[in-house]
Amino acid sequence: MSTPVLETENLVKVYGRGAARFDALKGLTFEIHDGESVAIVGKSGSGKSTLMHLLALLDEPTAGVVALEGRPVSQLDPKKVSRLRNETFGFVFQQFFLNANQSVLDNVTLPLKIGGWGRSQRNERGMEVLEQLEIADKAKNRATDLSGGQKQRVCIARALVNRPSVIFADEPTGNLDTATSEVVEDILFGLHRDQGITLVVVTHDEDLAGRCERRLHMQDGLIVAEEHGVITPGQLDTTFDPAQLGLEDEEDRA
Amino acid sequence: MRALDVTRTALGNTMRSKLRTFLTVIAIVIGAFTLAVTTGLAAGVNQTIEDMVDGYGDQDQIYVMQASAMGQGEDTGPGPQEYDPDTAGQQSEFGQAMLTEEDIETIEGIDGITNVDPIFFVSPDYLEAPDGGQYLLSELGLPADASGMELVAGETPARDSMEITVPETWLAIFDDADDDYEDVDPESVLGETVELGISDMVRESHTVEAEVVGVSVQNLAGIGGSPMPSHALNDELYEIQSSGLDVEQDDAFVQAAADVEDMEAFEDSIKEALQEEGLVGLTVEDFMGIIQTVIDAIAWVLYGFAVIALIAASFGIVNTLLMSVQERTREIGLMKALGMSGGRIFGLFSMEAVMIGLLGSLIGVGGGVLTGVVANALLTGSGGPLGDVGGLILYAVSPVAILSITGLVVGIAFLAGTLPAARAAKKDPIEALRYE
Ligand SMILES: Nc1ncnc2c1ncn2[C@@H]1O[C@H](COP(=O)(O)OP(=O)(O)O)[C@@H](O)[C@H]1O
Ligand SMILES: [Mg+2]
């Protein structure tokens, strides 16, 4: 397998102090490889979002290291980190976070605007991804006029527009019905397959988790299990085999 | 984000809640408007004064009076004054110290002064038009002011000839057919002869003939608003006015106008020499300087009010933008998550403040300039209430002032925007995007 795009070493996140101290992450070490699809699963409050925020460089760990493409990020200044996020990551949120007062196209091209692209180039690129996601006809609509599924498509388009190497999706299907969820999943995994984009998905949805190549099971701030291989619907298996974990790691190093 | 996009986005954001922006802008408009009107007014009036000073030609005159008349000189205090027979009787009706013949000779002796004309006030009774009609003439112009007069026809009276100018408004007395002076050609009255009636000390009436050589318009200082005699005519009238009694009386003058050979070279030395004699010399520029100082003082008071309005307005901006930052927490968090740096967020919100300031100053300064120009045209144009005052400019457009006002307003707006902008820049994207 290729080099890890993201690595962590003894990642610790502590919220509050004194009596209010809460250890959200208790020392996580793992790797995410280029072109991989990884699901972070676990109960509510287990620390999934906290972990994703650290991986996505939105937050700084209390202790430990996050490295992007082999380089530890904590030494970089905030401006560089912003730039890295803008150029290498795409984000899909459960709550969409589309700007209600802007058109679909403006919403989709926001990362490019932030990245300093000129207007005509970013509109061109914006239309390209909207076409790819088959909602180009809604480009001029206001973002609020869309259905949930369409909104999530727009979010994916926005996540894709800067040709990211990693897409982070926090509960991307959490607000969608089953049929729409399936469509959105198909889009995400299609991108993963066709463009080799690394997917990091935080989800409750077993269906979605099962389609990922790897699942990290979290509980109380720790990764308690790791599962490999895509699970086709119906043969869902959440049992954990430690031997398999070690085996895979051996293979990676080989 | 590119600077152009920051600007465009900021403009879009301020236009998003139009009513709120409008209300915030009003306060700025008031301040900017006041500044624009005041600067224009001060510039216009000062311009008028400068034009007048220029109108005096080579400004080679110095006006001399007693230092005590100017509130200078030795201390007279509130207590009883010692009686001095020499100075007694040398006070004007209003108790002002006057110049004596002796003083005039002293002044003539100062280096650089070529000629001294005492200024005295003559009160003729009437002016008789060529057709015999007599018109009340309570006031005559001072010959010493002749160089500052604005003429629409002819020229100023020659020093040694019996000549006179009349104001434009008097033209109708030369023409029976026309009641309105504006219908009379000023050139047509040049060369006409008028008679001046004046009473001596025992109220016996005398007449003096004079030739009309010019037609004047009144300027801001009032010069040209009444008929102005030549020096010779004025002297003659004064002679008649003070004759009739058998007692010899010393002449005394409120002021004297001294011609100076070379103002630049002699001004300081002349003033010094006058001071030694207990006299004060003022040039035209000095007089105008006093007026300009007063105008500037008034202008500064108005500037002060305008700046207070702007400071009040800046709190409006702070308030509006703080609300806006609060409402747009999500949006700010999203932009930060998508890689916008804190510095750029700061820039975006400061730019919104600048946009509000720019909008306010455009409307305020634009409105102020427009108001000034229109009011100036209405008031001082022909037919306006101040239309008869020649050369009066009430409002002058000054590009430098307009640019500095805009700069000041935008600067204040920017400062007001820094607090909300810093708040926005500090927002934590995770907090902002939390939805549990
Ligand atoms: N800013 C914070 N301050 C204090 N506690 C927090 C904060 N953010 C998250 N937590 C706590 O950390 C734990 C993990 O949160 P999170 O990562 O959001 O869980 P998940 O996404 O798995 O539901 C939760 O118990 C939550 O209450
Ligand atoms: Mg979560």
Report how far apart, in Å, the C-alpha atoms of A203 and of each of A44, B133, B296 are.
10, 110, 73
Architecture of the domain whose range is B121-250: Beta Barrel (2.40)
Q: What are the tens digits of pLDDT across the range B181-194?
A: 777 888 888 998 99
Q: How many CA atoms lie within 13 A of A39 on its CB side?
A: 29
Asked if residue A221 has its Cβ within 6 Å of ligand 1, the reply is: no
Distance CA B287, CA A64 (A): 81
pLDDT of residue A249: 45
Give the residues across from B193 on adjacent strands: B211
Check pocket membership of A16 for ligand 1, CB cut-off 6 A: yes
Residue B352 has what DSSP assignment? Answer: H
The residue among B28, B20, B15, B19 whose CA lies nearest residue B367 is: B28
Q: Which CATH class is domain A4-253?
A: alpha beta
**HSE-up of residue A22 (Cα within 13 Å, Cβ side):** 10
Give the span between the Cα atoms of A55 and A59, in whole angstroms. Answer: 8
Cα-based distances in Å from B1 to B26, B66, B324, B353, B432: 31, 73, 20, 18, 20
Closest CA to B215 of B163, B152, B270: B152
Q: How close is the Cα of A93 to the center of ligand 1, in Å?
A: 16
Q: What residues in chain B have per-residue pLDDT under 50?
A: 89
CA–CA gap between residue B131 and residue A113 (Å, rounded)? 87
* Average pLDDT score over chain A: 88
Cα angle B207-B213-B218, degrees, rounded to a multiple of 5: 95
SS (H, E, C) A189-213: HHHHHHHCCEEEEECCCHHHHHCCC
Check residue A56 and give its pLDDT: 93
State the DSSP code for B286. H
Residues 6 or more apart in contact with residue B253 via CB below 8 angstroms:
B98, B99, B104, B118, B119, B120
Distance (Å, whole) CA B89 – CA B248:
13
Nearby residues of B413 by Cβ (< 8 Å), 6 or more positions away: B28, B314, B317, B353, B354, B356, B357, B358, B360
pLDDT at B314: 93
Which residues does A contribute to its contact with B (CB < 8 Å)?
53, 56, 58-59, 78-79, 82-87, 89, 91, 93-95, 97, 99, 101, 110-111, 113-116, 118-119
Is the pLDDT score of A59 beyond 60? yes
Strands across the sheet containing B279-283: B113-119, B255-260, B61-66, B279-283
pLDDT of residue A246: 44
Q: How far is CA B234 from the centre of its chain?
A: 30
Q: How far is the CA of A48 from the centre of ligand 2 (A)?
A: 6
Query: Can you give the pLDDT at residue B100?
Result: 84
Where in chain A are the domains?
4-253
State which ligand 1 atom lies nearest to the alpha carbon of A170. Answer: 21
| Ligand 2 mean position, distance from CA A44 (Å) | 7
Length of chain B: 436
Mean pLDDT within A199-220: 92
Which pair of tokens denotes residue B51?
């034009």
State whether residue B158 is helix, strand or coil: coil
For ligand 1, is residue A48 a contact (CB within 6 Å)?
Answer: yes
List the domain boundaries for chain B.
3-54+289-434, 60-119+251-282, 121-250
Q: Which residues of B are less than 8 Å from A53 in CB distance?
A: 430
b/e burial code for range B235-266 (CB count within 10 A of at least 16 → b): bbbbebbeeeeeeeeeebbbbbbbebeebeeb
**A48 CA: nearest ligand 1 atom:** 22
Q: In which element (H, E) is residue B373 found?
A: helix B342-380
Cross-chain Cβ contact A97/B335 below 8 Å = no
Q: Three-class SS of residue B195?
A: strand
Residue whose CA lies nearest to ligand 1 atom number 27: A45
CA of B79 to the centre of ligand 2 (A): 93
Phi, psi of B75 (to 5 degrees): -75, 125
Closest CA to B188 of B154, B218, B139, B235: B154
Return d(Cα B364, Cα B351) in angstroms, integer. 19
Give CA angle at B359 (B356, B362), nearest 5°. 145
Q: Does the Cβ of A15 fall within 6 Å of ligand 1?
A: yes
Distance CA B278, CA B390 (A): 37
pLDDT grade for A83, boundaries at 50, 70 and 90: very high
Q: What does the pLDDT look like over A151-160, one tens digit per residue?
A: 989 999 999 9
Nearest to B309 by CA among B400, B176, B408: B408
Does the beta carbon of A44 lie inside 6 Å of ligand 1? yes
Is the model more confident about A105 or about A4? A105
Distances (CA, A) of A241 to A220, A224, B308: 20, 11, 75
pTM of the prediction? 0.73
The reply to whether residue B341 touches residue A82, judged by beta carbons under 8 angstroms, is yes
Rounded to 5 degrees, φ, ψ at A176 are -120, 150
What would the mean pLDDT of A208-236 be, rounded to a whole number? Answer: 86
How many angstroms separate the CA atoms of B7 and B305, rounded?
A: 31
Measure CB to CB from residue A97 to each of B2, B342, B433 and give the nearest one.
B433
